[in-house]
Structure 1
Amino acid sequence: MTQVIVQDSAPVTLIGGGEVTQSDLEEALLRAPTLVAADGGADRALALGVKPRAVVGDFDSLSPEARAALDPSILHLVAEQETTDFDKALRAISAPLVLAVGFLGKRIDHQLAALNVLVQPHGARCILIGAHEVVVHLTAPLQLVMEAGAVVSLFPLAEVTGRSEGLEWSIDGLVLSPMTRIGTSNRATGPVRIEVDGPGLLAMLPRSALDGLIRAMLAGPSH
């Protein structure tokens, strides 16, 4: 178990080594000013002109140049190989919310690993920010104002049931499972409310929904 390294009463930005643009990072930092890097995410942060407060990982992808540019006191080695650097870094953060950039895009296996981490139990809730979508694990009822026609994709990583309001195709009475029924390409008819009966369901929403999603997650229960 990774110990808490960064503690903050405000949301925190976490950067990985995947695809992330200057605007991605600036948008996240505007909403979550403290920056933490997961291993090689420190290289991405430095390339974009920002130094992280802490770097967490097994350091197999942190470059010698980035290591030399950073104060050794902010480098937190977690040597075990059982978890990904995203998982290590997320467990090291105590905050009401984490905005994660640089974990989607590039390699498909890394994206799948990031989605797997998202449904694991962590102290901080997390929003994955991609080029066009944001992804969140539904652990508490989510109520969100959305435009009619906006895509709301629900993807189960475990068997789960729940209820919905404001979706063109309701999930009431359905058993969602990665082996049978999934819920991609659903659409909002207006304000949306989704409630699940257990862990394992990811919601993939338009990037334009980010601010509303942040407000909803900060206002709701932590789990």
Structure 2
Amino acid sequence: MIAPVVRSDTLITLVGGAPVDSQDLEWALSRAPCLVAADGGAASTIAAGRLPQAVMGDMDSVPDSLLNSLPCDRLHHVAEQDSTDFEKCLQRIEAPGILGLGFLGARVDHTLAALACLVRRRTRCLLVGPHDVAFVAPDELTLDLPVGTRLSLFPFGATTGRSTGLRWPIDGLELAPWGRIGTSNEVTGPVTLTAPGLCVLLPREMRDLVLSRLFPAP
């Protein structure tokens, strides 16, 4: 069992190596104040004037000059190459949930790897990118979204589910990456989803609404 490197009673902002706007970082930290960087994500946080509580990964994407400027006790080198830096962080964070920046919208292989990791680990995490937000559907989910909102469901394996409030319901359908998928659906009313394991993608404008549903205030 892997011991946690970071423990927090609040949500954690986790920053990856894709470009991150400083305003997005400030938005995330106002909601998830504990800051952690995955390898090269440290460059974005430092450029924005924010020192991460921890930097985790194999450290192959952090410039030496930046590594040398960071406190040694905040650097956590994980040498194994069987997982991505994103997964290395997820394995070593203990928190109510994670708000992830810098994992969507750049290299497609990195985006796919991050989404696949979320689905495999069923981690409570909301990824925010330049165009979309993405998360793994919990067993039951309700969302009061504006009519006409794009809502995509993507399966990473064979699965089924139920829905209300979508133009094209998923009831009775077998979804699979090699068969029928659920992208570019449309909201027609209050949405309920029973679709465990499906990746949900919504416009980034919905980030606060989704955040409030995934991580309701106590």
TM class by shorter chain equals over 0.9
1:87 positional shift: 0.4
- CA deviation digits over 1:133-178, x for unaligned, max 9? 1000113211111000000000111111000011111000011100
**Matched residues in 1 for 2:94 and 2:63: separation?**
26
Question: What amino acid is the match of 2:69?
Answer: A
Shift of 1:68: 1.5
Q: Give runs of aligned pairs for residues 89-128 of structure 1, distance below 5 A.
A: 89-121=89-121, 124-128=123-127
Paired residue for 1:129? Answer: 128
Equivalent in the alignment of 1:58: 58
- Structure 2 unaligned blocks of 5 or more: none
CA contact (8 A) 2:105 2:131 kept: no
Among 181, 190, 212, the alignment partner of 2:209 is 212
TM-score (norm 2): 0.95
In 1, Cα distance between the equivalents of 2:64 and 2:150?
42
1:51-71 CA distance string (max 9 Å, x none):
100011011111112112210
Q: Is the 8 A contact 2:132 2:201 kept in 1?
A: yes
SS at match of 1:146: coil
Output aligned runs, 1:35-46, within 5 Å: 35-46=35-46
| Shift of residue 15, structure 1, vs aligned partner | 0.2
Q: AA paired with 1:66?
A: L
Structure 1: distance between partners of 2:216 and 2:160: 23
Q: How does 1:73-88 map to 2 (within 5 A)?
A: 73-88=73-88
User: Residue 105 of structure 1: CA displacement?
Assistant: 1.9
Structure 2 distance, partners of 1:184, 1:75, is 39
Match of 1:9 in 2: 9
Q: Which whole-Å CA distance do the structure 1 matches of 2:156 and 2:199 have between them?
A: 7
In the superposition, the TM-score normalised over structure 1's length comes to 0.93
CA contact (8 A) 1:166 1:191 kept: yes
Alpha-carbon distance in 2 for matches of 1:9, 1:190 = 34
* Superposition CA RMSD, Å: 1.4
Q: How far is 1:207 from its partner?
A: 1.1
Contact 2:16 2:41 (C-alpha < 8 Å) held by counterparts: yes
Which ranges of 4 or more aligned residues in structure 1 deviate by more than 3 Å? none
Aligned to 1:184: 183
Residue 172 of structure 2 aligns with an amino acid whose one-letter code is G
Code of the aligned partner of 2:85: D
Question: What's the secondary structure of 2:191's corresponding residue?
Answer: strand
Q: What per-residue deviation string (whole Å, max 9, x for no partner) do you get for residues 175-199 of structure 1?
A: 1100000011101112211112x43
Structure 2 counterpart of 1:148: 147
Looking at structure 2, the residues matched to 8 and 41 of structure 1 have their Cα atoms a distance apart, in angstroms, of: 19
CA distance in 2, matches of 1:107, 1:16: 12
What is the CA distance between 1:81 and its match in structure 2?
0.4
State the distance in 2 between where 1:54 and 1:191 align.
Answer: 39
